Amino acid sequence: MASEFQRNKLRAMFDAFDADGDGYLERQDFEALAARWCRMPRVAGEPELAWRMENVMLGWWGHLAAAVGPGGDARIDMDGLLGVVDRLPAMRAETMATADVMFDAVDDNRDGRISRTEHRRLIDAWHGRPVDTADVFDHLDQDGDGYLSRSEFAFLWTQFWTSDNPGDPGNLMCGPLGAGEA
């Protein structure tokens, strides 16, 4: 069962996923999320990457919908999202595929590294609006080289979704904690 820390951390993500703001996640919310990501410059310019992005986003909708039971008219609340998050340690392949497509989407210059600027685009794309990132990147860039490698990114991505330790740097992967609060 998700802790209060995880619930608070993931609330901003739930709100970002809930495109129509009705308090529930539905397929059309994930279609809107995929469309938002597909407007990113690199994704928009690479049809194969756009296809991967759509498949990943709608794949997560499928996991959420399956978690609440059969039927195509699923509506998922915050508890439903957290129920899937509880299962993420057993969903390594899906989590890594998501990290991989996210990395490619924000690696605009295709140098195999995510810069501070590229990471900021990731945060803004997730939230669907500009977010003050403060010194988030400095916490993520554990080796201080100014970039996140693909393996660093994947580790931090997984940590964001699964960590219950407030001190883990991956908790900041999608922006400062509380980024979704007004």
Separation CA 139–CA 14 (nearest Å): 23
Of the given ranges (105-109, 132-136, 149-153), which has the lowest mean pLDDT? 132-136
Angle, vertex CA 114, rays to CA 143 and CA 11, nearest 5:
95
Is the pLDDT score of 146 beyond 50? yes
Instruction: Supply 173's token pair.
Output: 């992967």
Residue 131's closest CA among 85, 89, 174, 96?
A: 174
Give the tens place of pLDDT for each residue, 2-32.
788 888 888 888 888 898 899 999 999 999 9
Is the pLDDT score of 180 beyond 60? no
Phi-psi region of 130 (alpha: psi -120 to 50; beta: other; left: phi over 0): beta
Per-residue model confidence (pLDDT) at position 70: 64
- Beta bridge partners, 114, equal 148
Determine the straight-line distance between the first and last CA of the chain, rounded to whole angstroms.
27
Contact 20, 29 (CB under 8 A): yes
Three-class SS of 76-119: ECHHHHHHHHHHHHHCHHHHHHHHHHHHHHHCCCCCCEEEHHHH
Name the pTM for this structure.
0.87
Q: How does the average pLDDT of the chain come out, rounded?
A: 88
Per-residue model confidence (pLDDT) at position 31: 93
- In our burial notation (b when 16+ CB lie closer than 10 A, e otherwise), range 99-123 reads bbbbbbbbbeeeeebbbeebbbbbb
Confidence of residue 71 (pLDDT cuts 50, 70, 90): low
Per-residue model confidence (pLDDT) at position 178: 63
Helix axes 4-17, 78-87, angle to 10 degrees: 110
Q: What letter does residue 137 receive in the DSSP assignment?
A: H
Cα 6 to its chain centre, rounded Å, is 14
Separation CA 16–CA 54 (nearest Å): 17
